[in-house]
């Protein structure tokens, strides 16, 4: 199967599972919160993290159906992080994935609560599986730590701390390795955990490089893109005086650094049997324009 066919296969499998899980939301809960949760996570994005999880699971011969459940949990957490990122107290963005951000659609208070609900629901989904094993609990622990105060949230806090500050490469990588790379890495590590940590250290390094590359490409797109292409407000990093790779390295330096991390990820991936799809996916992420 060609790359696009395989990608679409993973994408469609994930979307079907996501629809099933969203349909299971408790109807006794207020419709306002469940509507906001669905709005935040459904019908948008390339689903890169779920595809990473499913393709890594395939590569390692993990249980693909179980991996799909974790892929949904990862996407729920990713979506919650975007909902909160867009809030006025954070990045203050009115648009996400080409539509109104959740707080613009439902109000700021419901935006906050929808993010909280998605985070909690992610772990309901994980714990709701039958016949949980030690590998499952390992996967959940990795997910919780990666998204928590010493992972993604640490990166978000540092991003706020270094805004409008004279900081450099060390601080930049501290932000990016947590805020972005943790949730790019975690789908790979979950697949590994489901296979008793097969290629764990290698995939951890791959995720780090892919995550840094992803964020640098994001920085470059913020400089050159527009709302129609990006699905979110462009040029916000410069306006908010964010610490970005473009600010630290300049545009040429940022391009060079993105290439370094792309090539570093490929070098590791190529040593893992069956990694052809993941190598091509890394290439697509590196060359994306939105």
pLDDT at 234: 79
Polymer length in residues for the chain: 290
Judge whether 83 and 101 are in contact, CB under 8 Å.
yes
pLDDT at 225: 73
Residue 44 pLDDT exceeds 90: no
Tens-digit pLDDT profile for residues 95-124: 998 899 999 999 999 999 999 999 999 999
Judge whether 127 and 140 are in contact, CB under 8 Å.
yes
**Residue 41, Cβ density class (10 Å: 0-12 exposed, 13-18 middle, ≥19 buried):** buried
**Predicted structure pTM score:** 0.95
Distance of CA 110 to the CA centre of its chain: 22
| Encoded tokens for 128 | 């709701």
């Amino acid at each position: 199967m060609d790359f696009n066919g395989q990608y679409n296969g993973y994408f469609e499998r994930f979307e079907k599972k996501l629809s099933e899980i969203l349909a299971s939301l408790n109807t006794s809960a207020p419709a306002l919160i469940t509507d906001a949760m669905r709005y935040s996570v459904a019908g948008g994005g390339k689903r890169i993290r779920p595809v990473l999880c499913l393709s890594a699971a395939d590569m390692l011969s993990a249980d693909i159906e179980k991996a799909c459940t974790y892929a949904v949990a990862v996407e729920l957490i990713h979506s919650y992080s975007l909902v909160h990122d867009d809030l006025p107290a954070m990045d203050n963005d009115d648009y996400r994935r080409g539509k109104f951000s959740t707080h613009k659609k439902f109000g700021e208070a419901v935006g906050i609560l929808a993010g909280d609900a998605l985070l909690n629901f992610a772990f309901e989904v994980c714990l709701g599986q039958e016949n949980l094993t030690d590998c499952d609990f390992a996967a959940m622990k990795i997910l919780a730590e990666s998204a928590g105060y010493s992972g993604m949230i640490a990166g978000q806090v540092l991003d706020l701390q270094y805004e409008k500050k004279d900081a450099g490469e060390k601080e930049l990588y501290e932000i990016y390795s947590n805020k972005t790379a943790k949730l790019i890495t975690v789908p790979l590590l979950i697949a590994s955990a489901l296979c008793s940590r097969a290629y764990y250290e290698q995939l951890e390094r791959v995720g780090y490089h892919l995550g840094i590359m992803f964020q640098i490409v994001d920085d470059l797109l913020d400089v050159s893109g527009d709302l129609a292409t990006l699905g979110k407000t462009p040029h916000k990093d410069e306006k908010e005086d964010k610490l970005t790779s473009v600010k630290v390295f300049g545009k040429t330096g940022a391009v060079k650094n993105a290439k370094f991390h792309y090539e570093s990820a490929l070098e590791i991936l190529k040593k893992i049997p069956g990694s052809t799809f993941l190598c091509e996916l890394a290439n697509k992420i590196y060359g994306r324009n939105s």
